[in-house]
Amino acid sequence: MKRILVTGSVGQIGSELVMELRNRLGNDNVLGTFHRTLPTEELTESGPMEKIRIQDVDDVARLVEEYDIDTVFNMAAILSAVGEQKPQLCWDVNMNGFINILEVAREKELRQVINPSSIAAFGPETPLQNTPNDTILKPKTMYGVTKVAGEILGDYYFHRYGLDVRGMRLPGIVSWKTPPGGGTTDYSVAIYYEAVQHRRYTCFVKEDTRLPLMYMPDCLNSMIDLAQAPLEDLIHHCDFNVTAFSNSPAEIAESIKGHYPDFEATYEPDFRQAIADSWPDSIDDSAARAEWGWDPEYNLEKMTVDMLETLERKFA
Ligand code: AKB
């Protein structure tokens, strides 16, 4: 991992991943790429940023060549909620984009491709509690379909071509820097923003909807630690369960109330409730712990303290 290209660099995770990788590997060694939304000053001023359309294989190949890339983190994706409104676009970006990256990586003999999967790979037939790593994968969203197909495709490129492709099934990611867009777990971020700014939040899933969650610093570590794990230690490749804690919106609201007693949460479930109901309550990440030492740092309370402090500074 010396010269990295990150797709989806203006997104919730991509924007922070680019900065973390630049801190660790040097600014010029990390190329951020974006499609429509323009990057922040922090991203453009700290290192190279280029416009890309990952569904265009020539675009991907040109940038890999020009910047002498050896590793790609593929963070560009249409998430679950938008994916249900635009299923064809979701397939196009998530699958055609990913296979272009794999093909360029194969042809140019890149070192590694990291392609995050998601808890959206699971479906209602999957065991709901402490979901095993290797289990039934029958998602009911287009986003989930692309995540399962992406896991299988990545494993195919590893076994067929020896390309080192890796990925982890991310839970809902909570962070303060760049808001998420188009996901079902977006409420777990919005609740903090609204608590700091207005002391009230109307949540679009029911109060007892429990989902696996993780704070951004752990998410970044999970991606970089998996990328750096010795290949010979891995039994799985593109489908590691990773989680930090599982909580419901009501429990997040309680944690916020511990700091803002006047905070009020109300609940008006919409179409995203059905998506959330098809995902597990909690997942078993023992394979990630055993094969590459996954060990998250944040629980709900520690995350709440950090989220409220950083958002208060942000909106001061
Ligand atoms: C979403 O809600 O779609 C994403 C995810 C869990 O992958 N945050």
The residues spanned by each domain of the chain are: 4-171+214-241, 172-213+244-314
pLDDT attached to residue 173: 98
- The finding on whether 183 has its CB within 6 A of some atom of ligand 1 is yes
- The finding on whether 69 has its CB within 6 A of some atom of ligand 1 is no
Q: Which atom of ligand 1 is nearest to the CA of 143?
A: 3
Distance CA 305, CA 258 (A): 10
Q: Pull the structure tokens for residue 132.
A: 């095993």
- The finding on whether 63 has its CB within 6 A of some atom of ligand 1 is no
Residue 201, beta-bridge partner list: 265
Fold classified for 172-213+244-314 = UDP-galactose 4-epimerase; domain 1 (3.90.25)
CB 123 within 8 A of CB 137: yes
CB hemisphere CA count around 293 (13 angstroms): 9
Distance CA 303, CA 67 (A): 36
Sheet of 172-174, strands arranged across: 172-174, 211-215, 245-247
Instruction: Please state whether the predicted TM-score (pTM) of the whole model is above 0.95.
Output: yes
Q: Give residue 215 CA to ligand 1 midpoint distance, Å.
A: 13
- The finding on whether 184 has its CB within 6 A of some atom of ligand 1 is yes
Fold classified for 4-171+214-241 = Rossmann fold (3.40.50)
Q: Scanning the structure block, which residue is given the tokens 């969203």?
A: 141
Q: Could you report the per-residue pLDDT of 225-235, keeping only the tens digit for each? A: 999 999 999 99
Q: Scanning the structure block, which residue is given the tokens 């064809």?
A: 88
Q: Give residue 183 CA to ligand 1 midpoint distance, Å.
A: 5
Q: Pull the structure tokens for residue 276.
A: 């959330």
pLDDT attached to residue 265: 98
pLDDT attached to residue 224: 98
Beta-carbon contacts of 232 under 8 Å, excluding residues fewer than 6 positions away, are: none
CB 287 within 8 A of CB 242: no
Q: Could you report the per-residue pLDDT of 44-102, keeping only the tens digit for each? A: 999 999 999 999 999 999 999 999 999 999 999 999 999 999 999 999 999 999 999 99
Q: Which atom of ligand 1 is nearest to the CA of 180?
A: 8
- The finding on whether 11 has its CB within 6 A of some atom of ligand 1 is no
Q: Give residue 28 CA to ligand 1 midpoint distance, Å.
A: 30
Nearest CA to ligand 1 atom 7: 118
Q: Residues with catalytic annotation? A: 143
Nearest CA to ligand 1 atom 1: 183
pLDDT attached to residue 164: 98
Ranges in the chain, pLDDT < 70 = none
- The finding on whether 209 has its CB within 6 A of some atom of ligand 1 is no
Q: Scanning the structure block, which residue is given the tokens 């944040």?
A: 298
Q: Pull the structure tokens for residue 299.
A: 């629980």
Distance CA 237, CA 136 (A): 17
- The finding on whether 243 has its CB within 6 A of some atom of ligand 1 is no
Q: Give residue 165 CA to ligand 1 midpoint distance, Å.
A: 21
Q: Which atom of ligand 1 is nearest to the CA of 80?
A: 3
DSSP for the chain, written as a single string: --SEEEESTTSHHHHHHHHHHHHHH-GGGEEEEESSSPPPHHHHHHS-EEE--TT-HHHHHHHHHHTT--EEEE-----HHHHHH-HHHHHIIIIIHHHHHHHHHHHTT-SEEE--EEGGG--TTS-SSSB-SS-----SSHHHHHHHHHHHHHHHHHHHH--EEE-EEE-EEE-SSS---S-STTHHHHHHHHHHHHSEEEESS-TT--EEEEEHHHHHHHHHHHHHS-GGG-S-SS-EE--SEEE-HHHHHHHHHTT-TT-EEEE---THHHHHHTS-S-B--HHHHHHH-------HHHHHHHHHHHHHHHT-
pLDDT attached to residue 1: 74
Q: Give residue 108 CA to ligand 1 midpoint distance, Å.
A: 31
- The finding on whether 32 has its CB within 6 A of some atom of ligand 1 is no
Distance CA 106, CA 104 (A): 5
Sheet of 164-166, strands arranged across: 49-51, 30-34, 4-7, 71-74, 112-114, 164-166
Distance CA 166, CA 292 (A): 12
